[in-house]
Structure 1
Amino acid sequence: MQNIYADFHIHIGRTVSGKAVKITGSNSLTLSSILTESSERKGLDMIGIIDSHVPEVIQEIENRISNGQGYELEKGGIRFDSLTLILGTEIEIYDQNCHGPIHVLVYLPNLAKMKHFSEWLRIRMKNINLSSQRIYEEAIIVQEKTKELGGLFIPAHIFTPFKSVYGKGVVQSISEVFDATRIDAVELGLSANTMMADQIEELHAYPFLTNSDAHSTPKIAREYQHMLLQSPSFTDWDKAIRGVEGCKIIANYGLNPVLGKYHETICSDCNSIVIGTHCMKCGSKHVIKGVSNRIKELSTSSCSPARPPYIHHVPLEFIPGIGPKTLDRLLDYFGTEMNILHRAEKDELASVVGYKLAHLIVLSRQGNLTFKEGGGGTYGKVIG
């Protein structure tokens, strides 16, 4: 069995020819830069590229395989040196009952099935070359197609105020939109943790995933999971989700929810925290409901099932005093961010960046940092 660190929600910003895929993604967020950042700097073992349905992305992956830079695994996924890439796509669903827009993630085991799915999507969306596009099809039909192809179906960032199953405020139960029996797991998103999500009893049936939703290379692995797998492959990831044959999710690493952009309800006009339906500071009724408030509305349970621990991870870039040059010094010495965050001793860290920063990194590991809360699209901040 192998200890595996994985982030399964990474966007492609631009293709190798420079065409936009994720419009809001960084121009430098290419397949090449993702592979390099994920393996050499972050120290991940598996990643999910969720724009793998785009024909030019498929072509680039096939070209790399033809050039001997990677190969398809028998158990699913594509191996590039020490990193396994899982093929995925993010789709926007908007059903006839006005449930939506809702983002979902579909993962498939190999290129042949992703190419088939891409062609299936092409006649159901306006632009197959862009990320997170609306599909003109019912959610249950998408689930059926996913299962036909041996794929995994996962609702994305399920609480964020925009484009998630619970976030808009219309859906009270996940079964209003989806076939609950064809959901393999749910992705929590940056403003919720396991303890918050388990206040909703219907979610007790599903494993939780914590992924970055990276729109730039530095954001890769700001949330991730630690798993125990026989091998870093699609099949064994599926087994870990189901908790069979010794494969399992050991821990979810995610932001402390107060750091998330949508944790608190915020006035969109003056950015003040709002309690109620309008801003007491400026009087505006233009508010963005925070994840914490939305979960309280949906809460149906005071108990939680047995789950892997949720560890409040603070990305190194969030820690005060760790700028690009300091991070480069740490990486030069320790190799990868996973080594810095999980394996380096405090004295070793102090020898590179001094006692103060080493102490903050250790406090982060222990979940003992203090924060200023985020909301309304603005991240929270680490105070110390």
Structure 2
Amino acid sequence: MIIRADLHIHGPYSMATSKNMTPELLSSQGTLKGLHIVATGDAFHQKWLNMIEKATEEDGEGIFRIKTSEKTHNEFLQEEIPEGLSKNPETKLILTSEVEDSRRVHHLIILPSFEAAYHMRKKLKGNLDSDGRPRLKMNGTQIQELALENGCMVGPAHAFTPWTSMYKEYDSISNCYSQTPDFLELGLSADTDMADRIEELQDIPFLTNSDAHSPWPHRLGREFNEIDVKNLSFPALKDAINDKKITANYGFDPRLGKYHRTACTKCYQQYHPEEAIRMNMKCPCGGTIKKGVDYRVEELATWDEPHHPTHRPPYIHIMPLAEIISLTYSKGVTTKFVQRKWQELILKFGDEISVLIDAPLEELTEIDPELARRIHAFRDKTLRIKVGGGGRYGELVFDEDEVINEVIPKNENSTLDAFMK
């Protein structure tokens, strides 16, 4: 069976995370998004663990569903589901956590059980309840070994980003871990065309996850994986990832990621990396220039073009439906207009992913011709993009009269030469 899974988010006790991150809303919003499994995030934080245990019951080994009593009596949950849709969440939860090691490298851990979470809490070195994403006095190898001892899956989170990633700190994955990790998470600023230029990653499965800090549909599931599993359980998911049965990765065009290009973190001026280095990574405005993911990949690359191994699935570019509606009508993503339009499409086609990927364009055109044109542009990759960098997301350009300084044609690699064109 093919499932859709978003395996990296954060709970309400992480810094800069919405307090609406409840198990019930993760499940209900995941259903509207079209996901079968959503991560819990922050599974080593005691208060979050308590919330998850209270709200859920096991439904398959290592997979949890919302208890019937919670579905029925959570009034806030009822208010958040559009009229006409099921009020019984179907999306299941799986325990996960992101941790930061002693060199500020972030690791994603997918856990098999509450027992594993509590056992690891006793062994992890750090204040686990100060933040949902704990800072540990342990290195990558120590974290990996402890995770594997407890039956977990583990790999680098957002592996290329310039602040807290594996390739920020190391030039090789072997310098971070004692053995090959179960997976590598690409992050919003990279895709498989970029990562598959690095030879040492050829045998490693890639994950694409949202890293969401709120449960709303423009965050949750903005990146996700399609995985072929034997059943809905942790062992089946682990086997599928180890056997490289990820059938598709869905995520941002990496040019939309906020760290794709080398840029100032204060004024967001983009720089050629060599110029930034000559300036000692200091912008005239006083801000710090951060090396972009595209140039970091360039430094690490074995080949000029991607070499996709036979097990590598397609990477399909998507963007949250609410953001496409917002851009189409120049309205805020949380406005009532955008939410009504979003609900209209969900009621028609069942869930957001179906709208973005499967809905017939003819039917979309009947509902909203302009919106259908935008969704079609994603499907056939005829996108015009202001590239992101320095901590600011890239932007889609739908106004054909608008002048943009730099557009990379579709299917062109983000090489150093392409940067200079």
Q: Above 0.5 in TM-score?
A: yes
Separation of aligned partners in 2, 1:269 and 1:25:
22
Separation of aligned partners in 1, 2:143 and 2:212:
24
Which residue number corresponds to residue 28 of structure 1? 20
Q: Deviations over 1:114-171 (max 9, x none)?
A: 22122323xx11242522211112322221111111110111000111111112xx41
Separation of aligned partners in 1, 2:14 and 2:355:
30
Which residue number corresponds to residue 29 of structure 2? 37
For these two proteins, the number of residue pairs brought into alignment is 356
Separation of aligned partners in 2, 1:145 and 1:281:
41
Separation of aligned partners in 2, 1:84 and 1:33:
11
Give 5+ residue unaligned stretches, structure 2: 67-88, 330-337, 399-421
2:247 is aligned with 1:250: yes
Which region of structure 1 is more displaced relative to structure 2, 365-374 or 190-199? 365-374
The aligned runs of 1:1-384 (5 Å cut-off) are 2-13=1-12, 21-39=13-31, 41-65=32-56, 70-74=57-61, 76-80=62-66, 82-94=90-102, 100-121=103-124, 124-167=125-168, 170-181=169-180, 183-218=181-216, 219-243=219-243, 248-275=245-272, 276-277=275-276, 278=279, 282=284, 286-302=288-304, 303-306=307-310, 307-319=312-324, 320-321=327-328, 323-352=338-367, 354-384=368-398
Q: Are the equivalent residues in 1 in contact too, given 2:282–2:288 (CA < 8 A)?
A: no
Query: How much does 1:205 deviate?
Result: 2.2
Percent identical: 36
Give 5+ residue unaligned stretches, structure 1: 14-20, 95-99
Query: How much does 1:280 deviate?
Result: 11
Q: Deviations over 1:246-267 (max 9, x none)?
A: xx11110010011000011112
Q: Pairwise CA RMSD of aligned residues?
A: 2.0
Query: How much does 1:92 deviate?
Result: 0.4
Q: Are the equivalent residues in 2 in contact too, given 1:274–1:280 (CA < 8 A)?
A: no
Which residue number corresponds to residue 16 of structure 1? none
Q: Are the equivalent residues in 2 in contact too, given 1:334–1:340 (CA < 8 A)?
A: yes
Query: How much does 1:111 deviate?
Result: 1.5
SS in 1 for 2:393: coil
Provide TM-score, normalisation by structure 2.
0.80
Letter in 2 for 1:300: T
Separation of aligned partners in 1, 2:147 and 2:352:
34
* Structure 2 CA distance for partners of 1:283 and 1:379, relative to 1, 3 Å: closer
Could you say which structure has the higher strand fraction? Answer: 1
Query: How much does 1:7 deviate?
Result: 0.4
Q: Are the equivalent residues in 2 in contact too, given 1:106–1:154 (CA < 8 A)?
A: yes
SS in 1 for 2:167: coil
Provide TM-score, normalisation by structure 1.
0.87
Separation of aligned partners in 2, 1:126 and 1:147:
21
